Amino acid sequence: MQCISTHRSFDGVTSFYSHHSRVCNTTMRFSVYEPPQAIERACPVLFYLAGLTCTEETFMMKAGAQRWAAKHGLMLVAADTSPRGLNLPSKADAWDFGVGAGFYVDATVAPWSANFQMYSYITQELPEIVAANCGGDVTRQGIFGHSMGGHGALVCALRNPGQYRSLSALAPIVAPMQCPWGRKAFAGYLGDDEKSWRAYDATELIKKTQLAFPILIDQGLRDKFLAEQLKPQLFNNACEAVGQSLIYRSHAEYDHGYYFVATFMEDHIEHHARLLNA
């Protein structure tokens, strides 16, 4: 593992790393915020999954999360959104598919299947690396994300209910099988058999797996992707049907970007801190 840079932040340290991933079979990057409490003890780890076109830098630079992580003693880890630098078809240059758009699935269709194993990377390899090299307490893991990353966080937690102790999302894609972004990604990465897509659709997963803790979701009502791509009511209805505790908050005048994300970041960090520090 190579440390690319470190930056002092709210009495802690934000660092950027690259490493060879055995799961993705290529170089991957991630970032870590170590709060000041990490000097004295192993801190709970909160994983953040970013949205389309983002990198491991986006969250650390734009969300303002370090201030609140320092207050509550949480280690933040932000992954990149896909493998990069590979000789892939020209479709990899599309902003909503390929590079920067891994959708947190394990691809089964060539050529993507050789490297685009983002689900296994997030749920298995990255926690191992953080525990071994950064000193985080991965027995207390939380996960959250924005947009495509909100989709990824929901899926990772619902498929691994014993691994995560907290979950939240900001403007997530909650029903990818029923929106253009998700259908494009799933067809490209997973093939035409839509039965296989259900393993990566939070609205389908919640019907079979419920969590012992509440899920927090925030959504802006001026989000231009709300009606076509995000469709939060589908997930809300599914949670209500099975009795899953869901804190869903909608906000007038807020859009899809990081101005929205940063506004409600304190709330999300506090939501995770209550569960991870309990």
Catalytic residues: 147, 223, 256
CA distances from 219 to 33, 204, 210 (A): 25, 20, 21
Tokens of 267: 């709330």
**Gap between the Cα atoms of 134 and 42, Å rounded:** 9
The DSSP element (H or E) to which 75 belongs, if any, is strand 75-79
Cα 29 to chain centroid distance, Å, stands at 14
Token pair 């304190």: residue: 266
In terms of DSSP H, where are the helices of 111-230?
Answer: 118-120, 126-133, 148-159, 180-190, 202-205
In terms of DSSP H, where are the helices of 53-125?
Answer: 58-62, 65-72, 118-120
